[in-house]
Chain A
Amino acid sequence: MKKRMFLKLSASAALALSIGAVQAAETLKIGAVAPKTGGLAGGAVVSFWPNVKLWAHDVNTRGGLDVGGTKYMVEIIEYDDQTNPGETIKAVQRLATQDKADFILAPYSTGLNIAAAPVYARYGYPMITHTAISDQVEELSNKFPNMYFTLGGASGLAEGVVDVLSAMKANGDIGNRVAMVNVADAFGIELAERAEPSMKAAGFDIVYKTSYPLGTQDLSPVVKGAKDANPDAFVAFSYPPDTFGLTKQAVVESLNVKAFYTAVATAFPAYAGANGAAANNVLGAGGVNADDPDFQAYMKRHEEVTGEKPDFWASGMVYASFQILEQAIEATDSIDRKVVSEYIANNDFDTLMGKISWDENNNNSAYWTVGQWQDGVFKGVASTGREGAVAPRLKQGWE
């Protein structure tokens, strides 16, 4: 009895002490809004949420952010927007007015970022997007001067594919027959529209072209149609479920192409997990400098802290966008949003994805466009000015 009493007392004393210790450091409230449910949840739980956890862990185990000698621990306030733009807006508003968040991380995906941008602007939060891909960067950054873009634009991604194929064609590795398909959704349509004229200008013959609805459960007609056209390269501007589905179908049909490209989610670890050896030499949207020690250290930490593997495209950029915020706060010794915003606008940042600098539209104009699975790692093979690209390889069957 006595012993238990003692334990209780010491436990409460320890608790009081630890509370005291925490209170000695200030806390910085950081809002995070992204899908945990709904259509984009599958992407957000791979690329976004683990990085929020990792970043908070990294900052807090270091003892917090150093703002002019005072240590600030970060406290994350999370909201699930259910992949619904209305909910994103509500959650950001709530973070700004009710939770009084000091900073709010940018939401996930192009659509949700554009939806929430006016709210960030109204309350003066810097919005460093990490997963917004748009060709309306100029218009957006004029309207919302606090909005920054890091992951690239649709035309860059589409041009990247054409460049990679053109290089293969110039080497005499592939002919000029391309099958091009896309998911009938904003992203797929936009990329296909950009790619088509560039393909033709580069001397490619588009021998099969079609689109399919989002959520198509049997993609075998698409792959069979492509196969009948006997292409040298297969390009699909696809979304996650169909990226997996097209690949599986290509394996079944043993679609014999020298270049096989699928877009979103090709860079996900689940893609390699699901397809095993068949994933080797598959091209996909995105990429990283996988040989960079900074990135490798990040990958290791990501897996240790969150138990999940990062993807080879957006994950690193999500974390890099948090690094930008972190560096701006520490460099200005301020948690005043105006001061921090101004610093972000006028400086370059060293992140795990390399150096990030802004053009006149607050856009990071040097980004990865195409990557390729090479022996279990998805490596960047084309970019708009990033270092570390490796040479693309030809697809050698599906075994």
Chain B
Amino acid sequence: MGILITGLLLGGTYALIAMGLNLQYGMSRIMNLANGEILVAGGFAAFWFWTAGSLSPLLTIFILAPVAFVVNWLIYVIILRPLVKRARSRGQLEVDAILTTFGLSFVAVGIMLATFGGDYFSYSYLLSPVELWSETYALNRILAFVAAVIICGALYLWLNISRAGMSIRAIAVSPDSSRLVGIDVPKLAALAFALGGAVTAVGGALISTFLTLDASTGVIFTLKALVIVIMGGVGDVRGTIVAALLLGVLETFVARLIDPGLTLAAAYLLFILILLFRPQGLFGRRQS
């Protein structure tokens, strides 16, 4: 029971890390390698507001989300849209986007170094034990899990019920045909990208309450997010959630019952197995 809850809490963290990338890669087809830097920037903002203004990260995210949304929207419109326009195939767009966002990630690291310095930043927020079924858990992790549930649930409902959400899912399936039925593809792709950025930044703010970050740690999160998105199936919110929880539970299970040294090996074993037997991901659509 304890293992399961610890694992689910870790899975919630992973979902926060990966959900934004899923929106960006799945919906607007931008493989954003600067995703981790957006996450770290969100964490920096939370740290700064907390240490300078004692503003709780829970309030910071309401400032952070719109700011991150606008910043990511601008990144998409100014830097990435030209790539989308000139790309002749999905493959070409992917290559161009990877190279561009890889460059962007360096720019982002540089900006963060210049503004915040390269020091580790870590603070204690809601670092109090909560007892559930005679096991203790950190309150800040539970909080991040709850936030992950809310964010993922809201996204899922929005994508399935609202008109804009369904249009976004349509462009995820087929951008060309969507245009035939009157969907404004460029606008919605930008919206999905910006939304993904906002979700990532909010995730970063929540994660910074229990993880120690520095300006250069973004790439670790990008990699983790990539693994989860691909495991769950590109462009499917459910897939990302399931993959994140699965990974969290598996890693905790291995760490507690076998050896903490084998968590990475177990995670990548799962990744390889999924790639072998379901290359499109758990919930992915087989590409024709």
Contacts and interface: CB of A to CB of B under 8 A. Distances in A.
Given A218-B10, A249-B138, A42 B261 contact: no
Nearest to A252: B138
A212 B255 contact: yes
A184 interface: yes
Interface in A330-344: none
Nearest to A254: B129
A22 interface: no
A269 B277 CA distance: 49
B216 A252 contact: no
B44 to A, nearest CB: 13
Interface in A224-246: 224-225, 240-241, 244-245
A235 to B, nearest CB: 15
B212 interface: yes
A270 interface: yes
Contacts of A270: 119-122
For chain A, which range describes its interface: under 10, 10 to 19, 20 to 34, or 35 or more residues? 35 or more
A253 B136 contact: yes
A98 interface: no
A220 B211 CA distance: 12
Nearest to A46: B119
A254 B217 CA distance: 28
A213 B124 CA distance: 24
Interface in A172-218: 181, 184, 210-213, 215-218
A32 to B, nearest CB: 15
B177 interface: no
Interface stretch (A33-41, A163-171, A365-373): A33-41
Nearest to B217: A241
30 contacts: A37-B109, A37-B118, A42-B119, A42-B214, A42-B215, A45-B118, A46-B119, A46-B120, A210-B260, A211-B261, A212-B255, A213-B261, A217-B13, A218-B10, A218-B255, A220-B6, A221-B260, A222-B255, A224-B6, A224-B256, A225-B260, A241-B120, A248-B122, A252-B138, A253-B136, A270-B119, A273-B123, A274-B122, A274-B123, A278-B124
A260 interface: no
A217 B6 CA distance: 12
Contact of B118 (A42, A241, A251): A42
B105 to A, nearest CB: 11
B251 interface: yes
Main secondary structure of the interface of A (DSSP, over half): helix
B252 interface: yes
A16 to B, nearest CB: 32
A387 B252 CA distance: 45
Contacts of A241: 120, 211-212, 217
A276 interface: yes
A254 B259 CA distance: 22
Contacts of A37: 109-110, 113, 118, 215-216
Contact of A248 (B2, B124, B256, B264): B124
B24 interface: no
A239 B2 CA distance: 27
Given A215-B220, A222-B255, A274-B122, A41 B260 contact: no
Contacts of A265: 120
Contacts of A251: 124, 127
Interface of A: 36-39, 41-42, 44-46, 83, 181, 184, 210-213, 215-218, 220-222, 224-225, 240-241, 244-245, 248-249, 251-254, 265, 268, 270-271, 273-276, 278, 308
Interface of B: 2, 6, 9-10, 13, 109-110, 113, 117-124, 127-129, 136-138, 210-212, 214-217, 220, 224, 248, 251-252, 255-256, 259-261, 263-264
Given A42-B214, A253-B129, A218 B118 contact: no
Nearest to B212: A244
A248 B138 CA distance: 9
B279 to A, nearest CB: 26
A6 to B, nearest CB: 37
Contacts of B224: 217
A83 B215 CA distance: 13
Contacts of A248: 122, 124, 127, 138, 210
B249 to A, nearest CB: 11
B216 A218 contact: no
Given A210-B259, A225-B256, 10 more contacts: A44-B118, A210-B261, A211-B260, A215-B220, A224-B256, A241-B120, A241-B212, A245-B212, A253-B136, A273-B123
Contact of B215 (A41, A216, A271, A273): A41
A211 B261 CA distance: 5
A349 B121 CA distance: 35
B21 to A, nearest CB: 16
Contacts of B261: 184, 210-213
A42 B120 contact: yes
Contacts of B256: 221, 224-225
B136 A218 contact: no
Given A216-B260, A244-B120, A249-B138, A41 B214 contact: yes
A308 B117 CA distance: 10
Contacts of B220: 215
A33 to B, nearest CB: 15
Contacts of B259: 210-211
Given A41-B214, A240-B212, A252-B138, A217 B10 contact: yes
